[in-house]
Structure 1
């Protein structure tokens, strides 16, 4: 059973995105090359755990982070689960493998002041790109959608009259997210500029480049980095930090964790709880300022 059969399964049956399937393929090909070079093995269908462990050791010794190693092993584990499913294997060599320990990755959200400075103080250009960039920042911050969801947003999925957008998330799971009045106003302004584009290649999609093509990941990243570099000294300024900021600011204002989970499109509360550390910091501040014993 070839790696490509597995990739087709992920794409067609599991609805994984091209970005995700490419990552799986790269990890499996890397492992296959290791097996060929170190053990003269051409196939990785029937492999012992000892061989896999030697790969893990080689990755760690070469400076690959534990987090990256865990991701590569997750790809391998999914491949062997697939082989079990189709009857090629009877035992998963990674069944008892334990992931390497990793430090918790804490990403610092933008403050409310930083957000206000970007949205209200920066003079965005009064043209197509300016209107588009401001809407992208506003939409990421007020809805918490992922970068891929923003890029894939279609014109038919935006209902300014109802004040909602329909987002296609991971595993093709749809969810409806409400729009704030300010976001709806920016949509109307952007749509007017969008209608003036001379040539539109990907007209089904909301966000386009100046040439009328669907926007892409690096462009979204550059937009966020460009404007937030003007107001923030934070090292990391990315679309995901805006998603993190959305969740943190809602929780800090008392939003219910389950509601935030639904807005973010998480399948479990565990995924949403990574955003609560900033809310705890806010609670500590309130607790310290309000409790009589704090003045002792």
Structure 2
């Protein structure tokens, strides 16, 4: 068995015996001195540049809200490297196209400015127009809305990325992190 599989089982057992000790069912934790095997660091999986080019040239993105939402999300994640949770948290007020930056709120509520390339600014402008037409009078502050007009979830973004990447790449490369 792999070190990862063994560590998963050890973690369960350690938690269980800690629970039993806390509840007074056992006096001594038999897992206390058990050392987990080392696991090697896995190198990240990357999508080749030609695969990304194929995604944006060979897969049609309709001019409706859904099509442009998918396209902008994919372009944004690829071009900026932001996390899917950060994309879901993007607000309209976080966009500064005059300075070509996005204000990203990351882990631990830390803010950072992320530069936006010219072509991405153009996509954002187009998307904002389509969003306004798709959800007239929407008071939602979020840039990306689901079909109900509410804030998109990170899980929804994950689904969108997997759906489109499955057309161009292998199973292990279908995540927003590639």
Unaligned runs of 5+ in 1: 1-26, 43-47, 58-97, 242-296
Query: What TM-score comes out, normalization by structure 2 length?
Result: 0.81
More helix by proportion, 1 or 2?
A: 1
8 Å CA contact retained: 1:167, 1:177: yes
1:137, CA displacement in angstroms?
0.5
Specify which of 110, 120, 126 is matched with residue 189 of structure 1.
126
- Whether 1:171 and 2:108 are equivalent positions in the alignment is yes
Moved beyond 6 Å, runs of 4+: 199-202
Q: Are residues 203 and 223 of structure 1, via their aligned partners in 2, closer, same or farther at CA, if it must alter by over 3 Å?
A: same
Distance 1:225 1:40, change over 3 A: closer
For 2:106 and 2:93, the matched residues in 1 are separated by: 16
Structure 1 residue corresponding to 2:40, chosen from 103, 114, 135: 103
Distance in 2 between the 1:111 and 1:203 partners? 36
1:143 aligns with 2:80: yes
- 1:41-79 deviation line (CA, Å, top 9, x unaligned): 26xxxxx9x62x61786xxxxxxxxxxxxxxxxxxxxxx
Conservation of the 8 A alpha-carbon contact between 1:155 and 1:204: yes
Structure 1 residue aligned with 2:23:
41
Deviation at 1:121, TM superposition (A): 2.3
Task: Report 1 or 2 for greater relative contact order, CA contacts < 8 Å, sequence distance ≥ 6.
Answer: 2
| Bigger Rg, which one | 1
Aligned to 1:229: 166
For structure 2, the residue ranges without an aligned partner over 5 or more in a row are 1-10
Query: How well do the aligned residues superpose, as a CA RMSD in angstroms?
Result: 2.8
* SS of residue paired to 1:235: helix
Decide whether aligned partners of structure 1 residues 205 and 56 sit closer, same or farther in structure 2, where only a CA change above 3 A counts.
farther
